[in-house]
Structure 1
Amino acid sequence: MLERRHKRRKNMESIVTYHATKVSPQEVQRKAEEQYAGGYFCCEAVMSVIRDAFQADVPESVIAMSSGMSIGAGRSGCMCGALNGGILALGMFFGRTTPDGPKDPKVNALMALSKELHDWFRDSNAKHAACCRVLTRGFDMAGGEHKKQCIAFTGLCAGKVAEILCRELGVENVDSEPIKGLEAPYLPPVKEVV
Structure 2
Amino acid sequence: MEKERIIELVRKKAEGYFQRGEFFCSEAVVHTINELLGWPYNEDVVKMASAFPIGLGKSGCLCGAVSGGSMALGMVYGRKHGEPMNEKMFPLSAELHNHIKELYGSTCCRVLVKNYEFTSPERKAHCVKITGEVAAWIAKKFLEDEDIQSKINYNFK
Q: Counterpart in 2 of 1:119?
A: 98
Q: How do 1:1-194 residues align onto structure 2 when only pairs under 5 Å count?
A: 24-39=6-21, 40-99=23-82, 104-106=84-86, 108-125=87-104, 128-168=105-145, 169-170=148-149
Alpha carbons 2:55, 2:108 under 8 Å: kept: yes
CA offsets, 1:141-173, max 9 Å, x none?
A: 11111101000000000000001111221358x
Task: Give CA deviations for 1:125-153 in whole Å, capped at 9, x if unaligned.
Answer: 3xx11100110113211111110100000
* Distance in 1, Cα, partners of 2:82 & 2:56: 25
Bigger fraction of residues in helix: 2
**In the TM superposition, what is the alpha-carbon distance from 1:99 to its structure 2 partner?**
4.8
Please give the alpha-carbon distance, in whole angstroms, between the structure 1 residues aligned to 2:109 and 2:63.
4
Q: In structure 2, what is the Cα distance between the partners aligned to 1:139 and 1:55? A: 36
Question: Quick one: which amino acid aligns to residue 99 of structure 2?
Answer: W
Alignment deviations for residues 38-90 of structure 1 (CA, whole Å, 9 cap, x no partner): 11100000011111122132101111110111111000000100111100000
Q: CA deviation at 1:96?
A: 1.0
Alpha-carbon distance in structure 2 between the residues aligned to 1:170 and 1:87: 19
User: Could you tell me how far 1:98 is from its partner in structure 2?
Assistant: 1.9
Structure 1 moving runs of 4+ over 6 Å: none
TM normalised by structure 1 equals: 0.70
TM-score (norm 2): 0.86
Give the greater-gyration-radius structure (CA). Answer: 1
Q: Specify every segment of 5 or more residues in structure 2 that has no aligned partner in the other structure, as ranges.
A: none
CA-based RMSD = 2.0
1:189 aligns with none
SS, match of residue 57 in structure 1: coil
The structural deviation recorded for 1:109 is 2.2
Percent same amino acid among aligned pairs? 34
